[in-house]
A and B are shown apart, each in its own frame.
Chain A
Amino acid sequence: MDEQLEPDYFGHFDDLRWALGLPDIEAALKRERPWSAADRVREWESLPSRSGIHSDTTGPYWLVSSLGFCRLYDIALPRDVASVLRGPLPAQITAAALRGLIHALEHLALDARELPERFDDAEPVEDVALCTSILHQLMQTWAAFIGINENYQEYLDAGGSSSGEFGRLMREILDASERADEVAQSDEQMQLLSIATELPLLENWRKMVRGPFVETLPWWLDGTLERTAAGHAAQRRPLSELLLMTKRDAAAAQPEHRLAASSHDSRLAVAEAKHLRQTERPVAGDRSVTVRFWRDRDTNGCKRWRLELIGGMDEMKEYVSAEIDFGGAGTRAASFSLGVATFELGPGDLDAEVSATLVTARGERQYVLLNESPNGGH
């Protein structure tokens, strides 16, 4: 049977089919519906206020949001879906979807409120996902509103009153939406959300929005995030500035350490430095430091050894410098930059047992036995 279904190129038909297959929604749509305008208004007026609406709001919420996405992107509904969705949705389903949307907006506001703190604690990949997750939720709540508003306009056209249950729930939606927007548009949140401008996500959504919606793009698609990103450009460290070596340096490198230059961006060349070993050492409390040994070549092509102490995202705020003791043969100090303290090693250092003292911003000194030499084991 699946083979006969139209392919779901946008990921919304599948959601629609799932929601329409839920027992409550399926039963509500099969029931005899009031088709006259007056009956539709009465259907809403007979709904009890704030009670007995629908026990499951998840299915109805996904139904209206998927429907809204199809309107937003001007995607024709597949035949199997269109044959079921004839006319406005039953009031019971729409009311449940409205409640689902209020819940989704509250969830969104909470996620946006917690974003800065969670971002600071996040692992790589997860940090960006926290930001894009909010944008995905914004898109979905927008789509759900479009799906619901279509039914609301129909209700008003049929003579329904904006002071009734439908109107009351719509006002709740607008209030919840305003609260979510207010949190998401705070300075810190906007700065973090603007990370998405480096992904294809926003541009892709803009490409997909069609018809009247193009003229009324919401704040996350109307260029505001791009302007925010531009405003903070000076604070960013583009990767190309931080790479070990430039393309010119690549030519000087030895064959076994050749640079892999990205063919589609001549600005970029990446050192394939040999990463020899990486371990993690507990330092104090919840904190730990990652120890890495590298072998690569300097800009003159000379072989060099490096030891790196990586504070990591969490600890970046904690450690400002480190002092390495090479088995009593001498100490060297380095500052943490972007969470990494780097030490160039000489030939005499390779067999030493290494320990470190890390210094926090508050001046605390924390000793950690690295117990590992570049050449030796543990």
Chain B
Amino acid sequence: MKGEPNIMAVWKNLPDPTPTASCGASTSIIVSERTWRHFVEKHVCKSSEPWRDVFAEAIVKELAATPHGPFDQGPAADASKAALAILEGEVRSCLSQPLVLVYTSIGARGVDGQRWLLPLPSGAIAVVNSTAAEKTLRTCYFTGAASVDPTGTGNVAFKSRRWKIALKQLVYEHTDADPVSQRRRLPDRGYRREKSVIGGQPEMCIDIRFVDPQIWGFVGGAAGSEWATPTWTWETR
């Protein structure tokens, strides 16, 4: 459509993790070309992020050959299509659990909508912006600790651990440690975070929710429930 941003993919019929959504509600996530270009250039092409363990080597090579696009023609189009299908599968897996950190983001002009943070089965973290109008994938990245594979040979056993590292980091950054027991507890609805980044956009995160708390590893769904590493694996879900 004239004037519309280029859309790389629309992932349809995804389970809607919004706490207020009705049971069984579905949603769609849009992946714009801008997001895809950012993802390819700033993440897939970074040797420090283990995308070769997620996509086939050939896919990564093709994407790295044209990091700025265009992604709608030639080998880059095929590689993008294949990579998008894998990412969609990962996002779908997370939303199906559901395993999503949801919070309301407030920017300088008021409520920006919700953000969804998804610790994907591969160990990457996907960020989705959710407004009443649409859901859009904003980025997808590996954090440093989940990327460190000292052997550098794609340790097969380690690959399946990365999602727990990503999950634990999200828990550690969005909960408080109990001063006595040192354990992490499920925050109450009043818990919030604020960032006023120099040169960046300030943001306040309110109404932080781990959906579903027990899948995240919290003992229960009530505020104050203790967290422990989940004992389930993606293979057994």
Q: Which residues does A use to contact B, with CB under 8 Å?
A: 2, 5, 7-11, 13-15, 18, 22, 55-59, 61-62, 73, 75, 99-101, 103-104, 107-108, 110-111, 114, 118, 121-129, 132-134, 136-137, 140, 191, 195, 198-201, 204, 207-208, 232, 235-239, 242-244, 260, 262-265, 268, 270-273, 275, 277-282, 286, 288, 294, 296, 308, 313, 316, 338-340, 369-372, 378
Do most interface residues of chain A lie in helix, strand or loop, or is the interface mixed?
mixed
Closest to B38 in A: A123
Known: A199-B195, A260-B111. 6 other contacts (CB 8 A): A58-B157, A124-B203, A127-B197, A129-B141, A371-B2, A378-B2
Q: Which residues does B use to contact A, with CB under 8 Å?
A: 1-6, 32, 34, 37-38, 42, 48, 68, 105-111, 113, 115, 117, 125, 127, 131-133, 138-139, 141, 143-145, 147-152, 155, 157-158, 161, 164, 168-169, 171-173, 175-177, 179, 181-184, 190, 192-204, 206, 226-229, 231
**Choice from A128, A201, A282 contacting B197 with Cβ under 8 Å:** A128
Q: Check A280/B198 contact, CB under 8 A, given A2-B231, A123-B127, A239-B106.
A: no
Decide: A198 and B193 in contact? CB cutoff 8 A: yes
Q: Check A378/B198 contact, CB under 8 A, given A123-B138, A239-B108.
A: no
CA distance A279 to B133 in the complex (A): 11
Q: Check A136/B3 contact, CB under 8 A, given A237-B202, A308-B109.
A: no
Say how far A100's CB is from chain B's closest CB, in angstroms. Answer: 4
A selection of 15 A-B contacts at a CB cut-off of 8 Å is A8-B229, A9-B182, A10-B183, A101-B150, A103-B150, A104-B150, A107-B144, A124-B203, A126-B139, A207-B182, A236-B196, A239-B106, A239-B202, A281-B5, A371-B3
Say how far A77's CB is from chain B's closest CB, in angstroms. Answer: 15
Say how far A376's CB is from chain B's closest CB, in angstroms. Answer: 12
CA distance A76 to B4 in the complex (A): 58
Q: Check A207/B3 contact, CB under 8 A, given A9-B226, A107-B144, A201-B172.
A: no
Q: Check A57/B151 contact, CB under 8 A, given A2-B231, A126-B139.
A: yes
Closest to B202 in A: A239
Closest to A131 in B: B197
A123: which B residues are within 8 A, CB to CB?
38, 127, 138-139
**Choice from A236, A281, A294, A339 contacting B198 with Cβ under 8 Å:** A236
A13: which B residues are within 8 A, CB to CB?
229
Closest to B134 in A: A278
Q: Check A232/B143 contact, CB under 8 A, given A123-B138, A125-B115, A372-B3.
A: no
B32: which A residues are within 8 A, CB to CB?
280
Decide: B110 and A278 in contact? CB cutoff 8 A: no
CA distance A11 to B20 in the complex (A): 30
Decide: A201 and B173 in contact? CB cutoff 8 A: yes
Decide: B110 and A55 in contact? CB cutoff 8 A: no
Decide: A199 and B173 in contact? CB cutoff 8 A: yes
CA distance A186 to B224 in the complex (A): 39
**Choice from B5, B110, B201 contacting A339 with Cβ under 8 Å:** B201
**Choice from A2, A111, A124, A262 contacting B138 with Cβ under 8 Å:** A124
Chain B CB within 10 Å, residue with most, of A18, A265, A275: A275
Decide: A239 and B196 in contact? CB cutoff 8 A: yes
